[in-house]
Structure 1
Amino acid sequence: GSKAPHSLENIEISRNLLENLTLGFSEALTLNGNVTDFIINANTIRNVDNIGIDVIGFEKVAPIEKYDRAREGLISENHIYNVSSYSNPAYKHEYSAGKIYVDGGKDVIIEHNVSSRNDLGIEIASEHYGKQTSLVQVIRNMIYKNRFTGISIGGYDKKRGGTINTLIEHNILYGNDMMNMDGGQLLMQYHATHNTINNNVMVSVKSNLLLANLHYSNKYNQLNHNVYLNKSRDKANRWIWKGKEIESSTIVSPWLF
């Protein structure tokens, strides 16, 4: 959406197959700028070398800043697998491609999707410093056996933006962090504040890291009624909370939150 205030709106992208794509720095399916009231439903994306679905804001695509965000959308019932940037020459052997990435978007519901064998399952972040992806709901997704992490919130380095007022609830995160990269089942990176993470099931299999909150500056996040299970060979359960590593011999999380 490159115009404002008039937006691209009432868009539905459903029941497509996107596969075997060489993408460079692009994505398989992207909504960028002044786009509203969209539905991305029941698509299959597989065997691509960068992000599967990307909902973007703050890229100066629309001429008026307040309209420069894809927003008010639903991403549901998509099946996305084998998404990895490792073989993409633009990324120099990095595991950095997500199945679904909201990068600066707003008011997006992500529900009933299946993510497996990707680099990241779902990422909610902003690549623009001082800008926040906001009001995203990640609900009832099945996210399993992804290489780096299951769900990631917050900017990937301190020069990026962050994630605010996002709800992560009733998801199953199973056997992620397959490459032992300390992403765990759920990863909180830079500038993640005022987010709610409730009633999720997190099961470690290859890595024994359940949850990683990397930075002390991540504040006002609520985590309640999550279930943590460790099926790895290492019986010590690991958490990283505000940069400090904690181990526990029980499957109940230590008093972190």
Structure 2
Amino acid sequence: MSLVRRIAVLVSIAAVVLALSGAGAQAHRGTTLYVSPHGSDSAAGTARSPLRTPQLAVDRLGRSGGTVVLAGGRYAGQRIVVENRAHVTVRAAVRATPVLDGAGLKPPADQSGMVEIRDSSDVTVQGLTVTGYRTRSTAAVPIGIFVTGSGHAIRLTGNHVHHLGNDNGTLGSFEMNAHGIAVYGTRAARPISDVRITGNELDHLVLGASETLVLNGNVDGWSVTHNVIHDNNNIGIDAIGFEDTIAGPARFTEVNRARHGLIAGNRVSRIISEGNPAYWEDGAWCNCADGIYVDGGGSITITGNQVDASDIGIEVASEWKQGRTNAIRVTGNTVTRSRFTGLAIGGYDEDRGEAYDITVTGNFLRGNNTLRDGSPELLLQYYVHDTTITGNTVVSANPGQAVLLQRVEPAGGAARNARLVLDHNAYGGRVPAGQELYIWNGVERRGLADYRAASGQDRASTYRTTR
């Protein structure tokens, strides 16, 4: 991508984030209570006489809310739950690192967070370190920071979630789960809205079948920006729809999907499922952890992210046959050194949902498929239609075989495969022109001319040999 285009993308990201962050971001006035690992729960809660237990401070704020300031140090075995509340901030003291350490805690059955926000609004969690919350139980789902129910104006900023998760080792089981940060909108009548997750670091998480940072269910209006996510054994960022987060008649409706979102300026690296027991399949590991994934989400922009050395860089799909992923804009991202493929669109088999109204432009894909198993830089799977892929740079670094693009043989009716446009893309690879490989509708095509003749695509695209 040219310098001018990169600057334009960054300016655009900044403008969108600024616009989205305006509402609900004001500081909370009223009571301020101070907490220290060396404080006393019989103290006044002032800066000079701090409390010892963060939860006690949150409870003492009362219904009008306020701010809890945590001094640096280790808070052993202490969770924080904000339930049916409003106007609450829990933050680190200036230049302090408070650590909520869940080592030794037994997570209860179902989902629970070291920091948990339930049916609450105008809540900020800032500058905390969360670690140590672990289980081997398939009934428990430990989460670093958990937002659930309904509510609005949630701010998760500058937190560090690391070294926690589900350590169950049952090979091939999808029953073990954990998250770093999770937002679950579970009310059909009321969403979780105006969610801003920015500047956090999430790393060394053991996730089983779940995700590092996820928005799932009735989550409407959100941004995930400028986070650093690395060295986790399942998906980095995920926007999900149509799971049983909301059951009954509303399940396959618009209210049960993460929508109207922005994923921008994040750095995601080393998201790898090899060694994760949940992904042991038929005697081998599935290399299927996405850096960034939209699974059933809608109306989402993915822009200006860097995804490196993960199984799949970015994927846009719908895992539920009755579901869909649509109105997704993938622009100005850099995806490098993926183990399997750089960008995947569409269902991974014929029993999945459709992906449509997808725009992919201005992205840079290079050196993906480091496993060298013949997979492509860009993969079009089942039920992709009404989609435009233009103005991208796609470069294979494989010195022996440059597989740039693969479209699987279409399935289903014509409408679920129609109006797919690829053009003005810049392809490159280490092999001479005419030796690079494109796979169209399941048939190999050697060289750009042969591929164009077979597909009618990429008429104004180019290929050049690179180093």
Report the TM range for the smaller structure's normalisation. over 0.9
The whole-number CA distance in structure 1 between the counterparts of 2:195 and 2:271 is 24
1:26 to 2:210 alignment: yes
- Match for residue 279 of structure 2? 91
User: C-alpha root-mean-square deviation of aligned residues, in Å?
Assistant: 1.7
The whole-number CA distance in structure 1 between the counterparts of 2:397 and 2:320 is 34
- Match for residue 140 of structure 1? 332
- Match for residue 191 of structure 1? 383
1:36 to 2:220 alignment: yes
Task: Flag the structure with larger Rg.
Answer: 2
What pairs up with 1:152-231 in 2 under 5 angstroms?
Answer: 152-206=344-398, 207-217=401-411, 218-231=417-430
Question: Cα distance 1:232–1:81, how it changes in 2: closer, same or farther (>3 A)?
Answer: farther
Q: Cα offset for 1:246?
A: 0.4
- Match for residue 126 of structure 2? none
The whole-number CA distance in structure 1 between the counterparts of 2:339 and 2:286 is 11
- Match for residue 9 of structure 1? 193
- Match for residue 242 of structure 1? 441
5+ residue gaps, structure 2, are 1-184, 412-416, 458-467
Check whether the contact 1:25–1:90 (CA below 8 A) recurs between aligned residues.
yes
Check whether the contact 2:445–2:451 (CA below 8 A) recurs between aligned residues.
no
- Match for residue 452 of structure 2? 254
- Match for residue 265 of structure 2? 77
Check whether the contact 2:240–2:294 (CA below 8 A) recurs between aligned residues.
yes
Q: 1:66 aligns with which of 234, 254, 259?
A: 254
Check whether the contact 1:188–1:212 (CA below 8 A) recurs between aligned residues.
yes
Q: Cα offset for 1:130?
A: 3.4
Question: Cα distance 1:232–1:83, how it changes in 2: closer, same or farther (>3 A)?
Answer: farther
Partner secondary structure for residue 236 of structure 1:
coil
User: Which of structure 1's runs of 4+ aligned residues deviate more than 6 A?
Assistant: none
Deviations along 1:61-91, whole A, 9 cap, x unmatched?
A: 2352330010000000000000010110110
One-letter amino acid of the counterpart of residue 236, structure 2: G
Deviations along 1:23-61, whole A, 9 cap, x unmatched?
A: 100110010000011010000111000000010001132
One-letter amino acid of the counterpart of residue 254, structure 1: R
The whole-number CA distance in structure 1 between the counterparts of 2:349 and 2:304 is 29
- Match for residue 294 of structure 2? 102
Partner secondary structure for residue 343 of structure 2:
strand
Q: Cα offset for 1:254?
A: 3.0
Larger relative CO (CA 8 A, sep 6+): 1 or 2?
1
Question: Cα distance 1:141–1:205, how it changes in 2: closer, same or farther (>3 A)?
Answer: same
The whole-number CA distance in structure 1 between the counterparts of 2:196 and 2:449 is 42
Deviations along 1:74-109, whole A, 9 cap, x unmatched?
A: 000000000010110110111000000000000000
Instruction: Name the structure with the higher helix share.
Output: 2
Q: Cα offset for 1:215?
A: 1.8
Partner secondary structure for residue 118 of structure 1:
coil
The whole-number CA distance in structure 2 between the counterparts of 1:230 and 1:25 is 35
TM-score by length of structure 2 reads 0.53
Q: Cα offset for 1:195?
A: 0.7
The whole-number CA distance in structure 2 between the counterparts of 1:88 and 1:96 is 11
5+ residue gaps, structure 1, are none
TM-score by length of structure 1 reads 0.95
Partner secondary structure for residue 67 of structure 1:
helix
Question: Cα distance 1:74–1:181, how it changes in 2: closer, same or farther (>3 A)?
Answer: same
Partner secondary structure for residue 90 of structure 1:
helix
- Match for residue 48 of structure 1? 232
Check whether the contact 2:383–2:410 (CA below 8 A) recurs between aligned residues.
no
The whole-number CA distance in structure 2 between the counterparts of 1:98 and 1:81 is 10
